[in-house]
Amino acid sequence: MAPANPGGGWDQTARSMQQALVAAGIAKSVQVTNVGGAGGAVGIAQFVNSAKGDVSQLMVNGFVMVGALAMNKSPVTLDQVTPIARLTEEIQVIVVPANSPIKDAKDLAAALKENIAKVTFAISALTAAARSCAVLIGEFAGTTITWISSVRRAIGVT
């Protein structure tokens, strides 16, 4: 299962696995099922409830799902599945201005705990991975990050 709509990263990873499993002769055929919604929360819920004990079932997921499950307050958790392989890696980087008093993650957590209203995050893309990163930073700091979406504007040069 790819717990996302067709065409995205998890779908592409699942389809690559599909081709590899068939090409290696491990399976005669492999079906990829897409279940999109809520950053993977809909897909993992369906997977957990329908694939119990079926060793032929696999699901692709990643860092996005960690934050999505927390943000959506999902009753299904990653504790209900067993990771078997790491196929990709998603790295998130946090930077601050050189003159910032925040020098490491502990400083960031302390600033959030002291006065979360004074800490602003600017994220370069409106991605679920970026949101997941913000949620996890909030959990690390013992507080809740409020997500405020902004409007993207395209600038054309002629």
**62 and 110 in a common domain:** no
* 44 and 107 share one domain: no
Per-residue exposure over 72-106, b if at least 16 CB sit within 10 Å of its own CB, e if not: bebebeeeeeeeeeeeeeeeeeeeeeeeeebeeee
Residue 141: what pLDDT? 83
Say what the pLDDT of residue 42 is: 95
What is the 3-class SS of the chain, one letter each residue?
A: CECCCCCCHHHHHHHHHHHHHHHCCCCCCCCCCECCCHHHHHHHHHHHHHCCCCCCCCCCCCHHHHHHHHHCCCCCCHHHCCCCCCCCCCCCCCCCCCCCCCCCHHHHHHHHHHHHHHCCCCCCCCCHHHHHHHHHHHHHHCCCCCCCCCCCCCCCCC
4: in domain: no
What is the reported pTM?
A: 0.69
Structural domain ending residue among the three candidates 27, 45, 80: 80
Task: Using alpha carbons only, give the angle 126, 131, 132 rounded to the nearest 5 degrees.
Answer: 140
- Give the residue numbers spanning the domain of 146: 92-151
Q: What is the CA radius of gyration of the chain?
A: 19
Looking at the predicted structure, is the pLDDT value of residue 123 above 70?
no
User: Could you say which of 33, 51, 80 is where a domain stops?
Assistant: 80
pLDDT in tens, 6-61: 998 899 999 999 999 999 999 999 999 999 999 899 999 999 999 988 989 999 99
